[in-house]
Amino acid sequence: MSKTLVEKKNLMQWTPEEKKETSSLYGCEIIFERATLDQIKDRSLPNDAYIIFYRVDNQTYMDLCRGKRANVFDMYYDKFGPGSVQKIDFGYGRVNPSCWKYRKSKETKRK
């Protein structure tokens, strides 16, 4: 493969390294990448998840991710470029985030 095809393919999908970095850089977690409607409409997901619609090469994709809405937008804008983010909606999840695989941040010791 030529270098431009490899770069273009990397722009279209999240690499495992990028998925790990999103939590530290943006405070976001990608739950489903290029999800189907059945995956997104699952009510056992956290209620703070967002459905993001974005366009890459004239195709629209849906992802489900957690984080602040502005940070989710920034993450997808930085990855896929201007004009790629089409819409951000609330997810269908009904589970409290503290009960769904939520990693509690490290608390500092009180003096």
- Report yes or no on 101 lying in a domain: no
Global pTM reads: 0.77
pLDDT along the chain (111 residues), means of 10: 48 84 92 93 93 94 95 95 95 88 64 68
Is 22 inside any structural domain? yes
For the chain, how many structural domains are there in total? 1
Residue 99 is predicted with a pLDDT of 83
Confirm whether 109 is domain-assigned. Answer: no
d(CA 81, CA 93): 28
| Residue at 25 is within a domain | yes
Domain limits at 77? 3-93
Q: What is the predicted pLDDT for the residue at 83?
A: 93
88 domain-assigned: yes
CA distance 104 to 109: 15
Whether 62 is in a domain gets the answer yes
Quick check: is 23 in a domain? yes
| The pLDDT of residue 3 | 46
* 45 domain residue, yes or no: yes
